[in-house]
Structure 1
Amino acid sequence: MSQQAFFAQPNVSEWIELSPGNTRRVLIHTAEMMQVEFGFEKGAVGALHSHPHIQVSYVAEGSFEVTIDGKTEIVGQGGSFIVPSGLVHGVVALEKGRLVDVFTPHRADFL
């Protein structure tokens, strides 16, 4: 078993391009939770999807049109939103921005 990391320094993890204008990097994780940063160019879309994980998102930069279970709201820098397990959700970047997401349990598909 590998030793649990207690700290994650900036720029240690690599950015992965998901689609044009949309990138992701895993910051730190345990079996129970994971912190992930997503980068978006203006107009980039985080397509509607669902997963069994609970997700909490913090808007670190920019503003996003966020849709959760058919309800849409604009969430700006400093705002947050939560996605319960199984609900369909997605975002559109209204300007260049970053989201910091926490998932529980961790997203094995991101490792």
Structure 2
Amino acid sequence: MIKKLQEAFVKDNSMEWDVLNDSVKRKIMSYDESLMLVKVHFKKGGIGPIHDHFHSQTTYVESGAFEVTIDGETSLLKTGDVFYIKPHAPHGAVCVEEGVLLDFFSPVREDFL
């Protein structure tokens, strides 16, 4: 059973960062069994290594610039851009300008909990 974090209102400053390494940290903002929102902060040079998962993912570039690779194709994405990752597609990102990504997953990423 997945613990739910589905409050109607979530204040950013009430959520704690989970530090993944010197360049990347994330906050799990909200989720239930079928949907999850994760805020990820990257310092310049931070890397989200190539990986894949069975979840659908769409990501909004809240700030900064990222070289995003999906299924072997790379694109430079900046503030306001969005990318979609189908299930099982290999993907990763390199931060070229410090920034924040908002990752939306369906279903919930149980491995993050």
Same fold, TM exceeding 0.5?
A: yes
Taking the aligned partners of 2:68 and 2:35, their CA distance within structure 1 comes to 22
SS in 2 for 1:72: strand
Taking the aligned partners of 1:31 and 1:2, their CA distance within structure 2 comes to 7
In the other structure, the counterpart of 1:65 is 67
Match of 2:99 among 85, 94, 97: 97
Match of 2:43 among 41, 48, 55: 41
In the other structure, the counterpart of 1:78 is 80
Give 5+ residue unaligned stretches, structure 2. none
Q: Count the aligned residue pairs.
A: 111
Q: Evaluate the alpha carbon distance shift between residue 97 and residue 65 of structure 1 in structure 2; reply closer, same or farther with a 3 A threshold.
A: same
Calculate the TM-score normalised by the size of structure 1.
0.95
Q: Evaluate the alpha carbon distance shift between residue 91 and residue 6 of structure 1 in structure 2; reply closer, same or farther with a 3 A threshold.
A: same
Give 5+ residue unaligned stretches, structure 1. none
Is 1:20–2:11 an aligned residue pair? no
After superposing on structure 2, the runs of 4+ consecutive aligned residues of structure 1 that deviate more than 3 Å are: 1-4
Aligned amino acid, residue 49 of structure 1? H
Taking the aligned partners of 1:20 and 1:86, their CA distance within structure 2 comes to 27
Is 1:55–2:57 an aligned residue pair? yes
Calculate the TM-score normalised by the size of structure 2.
0.93
Give % identity.
Answer: 39
